[in-house]
Amino acid sequence: MFHSWDDIAFQFLNKNVYNIVLPQFCLAHDQNTKTPYGIPENSPIGDVKTREHYFSKFNHHEVWENRWGFNYGDRNSFEAVKESYQDTLLWNFYHHDPINGPLKSFDL
Look at residues 42, 39, 18, 44 and name the one whose alpha carbon lies nearest to residue 96: 18
Q: Domain boundaries in the chain?
A: 1-23+62-98
Question: What pLDDT is stored for residue 105 in this prediction?
Answer: 87
pTM of the model: 0.69
> CA Rg, the chain, in Å?
17
Rounded to whole angstroms, the Cα distance separating 64 from 75 reads 13
Length of the chain: 108
pLDDT, tens only, 24-59: 887 777 888 888 888 777 766 667 777 777 766 667
Q: What percent of the chain has pLDDT over 70?
A: 89
